[in-house]
Amino acid sequence: MLATALTTMTTLEVVLFSKNNVPFFAVVKVPRLQIAPHVANLPRMKPMPDFKTEYVPCSEAERAGVELWIRRLDMIDSPAPGNKAWKLMYHVERANLQPKPALLTFGGAWSNHLHATAAIGASLGMRTIGVIRTTEAELARPTPTLQDCKNFGMELFPVSRSEYKEKDEPFFKAWLCNRFDNPWVVPEGGGGPLGVMGCKHLVENTDIKKPWDAVVVSAGTGATAAGILLGLKGTAPLYVANALKGFDMRQNIERQLNLALNDSEWSSEIAGGCKVWNDAHLGGFGQISKSTQSFIEKWNAETGILLDGVYTAKTLIRLQLAWRKSPAWKNRRVLFVHTGGLQGNRSWQ
């Protein structure tokens, strides 16, 4: 997104390659030009799937005196169910501006993000490339998630764990763009400014006109939480359940906001509207205990709503712990955002 400015000097960092593929950097300064990294005024891309928000009778909530509502992103009519549809909406629009529209992104063997990217690419006839943290031998025996990605037409490219750690480095992304004919690169999990601003649309006008007493959501990259914070405009506190062990999600939410807004002070102020549960991981990312599995089964039997083991089940377990610990939740009207991710349950089923 380009905008002219009278008194600006933009520095561009360019990655070049020699004949033997050794990267080196060049710095180009362009006077009177501003590249605006924020996307605060992006319109909602049409069409987007509709979602339902329904009241869910739940014995635990009733005992705590909590009125529980669930935003059913898991039930949307989209090849990319859950929050992924919104995370990817602007990335898809941006990829369509490439000379040869394509999406390249990153993930592991059970990645919901890879699965959603492959599915939405197939539905649009768009080429997709998945950079996978795995080996050639492991890729020869793909997980059901990666097999689905292959069936959707995604090209899977294995890299070592050490290479994967460089996924956000400019030289590595430039090398991938050169190798795969200049696709649009989507950050792991679909975050970044485009992902954040897409998730802003998970908040409706009715959420502002009749504010919730609390909104609750899971977090991996923090992009969905950042987008919801922007959408809520301070009308309700956001409780964020961190799926990662040993990681302060509040910092990542603030970083995602700053990527979108390019204003660290403003981003810090907005991030102040959330309460992060950094103890919600229940053993670590992707660790799904027998007790978590049992919770999923009991919750499904009572409500008819299926949860995933990595994010939503752990978030509801942590939410119920908050109800039991504090009487302040009594008579509160709470919105839980169901972010989907159900295909990943095959990893433990």
Structural domain boundaries of the chain? 2-35, 53-79+195-343, 99-182
Q: What is the pLDDT along the chain (349 residues), one digit of tens a residue?
A: 333 333 334 445 566 665 565 555 555 555 544 344 445 445 555 567 889 999 999 999 999 999 999 999 999 999 988 999 999 999 999 999 999 999 999 999 999 999 999 999 999 999 999 999 998 999 999 999 999 999 999 999 999 999 999 999 999 999 999 999 999 999 999 999 999 999 999 999 999 999 999 999 999 999 999 999 999 999 999 999 999 998 899 999 999 999 999 999 999 999 999 999 999 998 888 788 999 999 999 999 999 999 999 999 999 999 999 999 998 999 999 999 999 999 988 887 7
Q: How far is CA 56 from CA 30, 281, 303, in A?
A: 56, 24, 7
Which residues neighbour 130 within 8 Å (Cβ) at sequence distance 6 or greater?
104, 105, 106, 107, 114, 117, 118, 146, 149, 154, 155, 156, 157
* Structure tokens that stand for 51 in this block: 């979602």
Let me know if 277 is exposed, middle or buried by CB neighbors in 10 A (0-12, 13-18, 19+).
buried
CB 340 within 8 A of CB 83: yes
* Structure tokens that stand for 29 in this block: 């300064």
* Structure tokens that stand for 53 in this block: 């928000």
CB 89 within 8 A of CB 42: no
DSSP state of 241: E
What distance in Å separates the CA atoms of residue 70 and residue 74, rounded to the nearest whole number?
Answer: 10
Res 347: pLDDT: 82
Of 314, 315, 321, which is closest to residue 336 (Cα–Cα)?
A: 315
Of 320, 319, 225, which is closest to residue 273 (Cα–Cα)?
A: 225
CATH fold label, 99-182: Rossmann fold (3.40.50)
Of 261, 264, 219, which is closest to residue 238 (Cα–Cα)?
A: 219
Res 7: pLDDT: 35
What distance in Å separates the CA atoms of residue 290 and residue 296, rounded to the nearest whole number?
Answer: 10
CB 154 within 8 A of CB 117: yes
Question: Which residue has 């485009």 as its token pair?
Answer: 194
Residues constituting the chain = 349
CB 71 within 8 A of CB 53: yes
Res 48: pLDDT: 75
Same fold, 53-79+195-343 and 99-182: yes
What distance in Å separates the CA atoms of residue 117 and residue 115, rounded to the nearest whole number?
Answer: 6
What distance in Å separates the CA atoms of residue 65 and residue 332, rounded to the nearest whole number?
Answer: 7
* Structure tokens that stand for 346 in this block: 């095959």
- Does domain 53-79+195-343 bear CATH number 3.30.300.350? no
What distance in Å separates the CA atoms of residue 284 and residue 278, rounded to the nearest whole number?
Answer: 11
Res 263: pLDDT: 94
Res 197: pLDDT: 95
This prediction's pTM:
0.86
Res 30: pLDDT: 53
| 47 prior amide bond cis, ω within 30 | yes
Res 40: pLDDT: 45
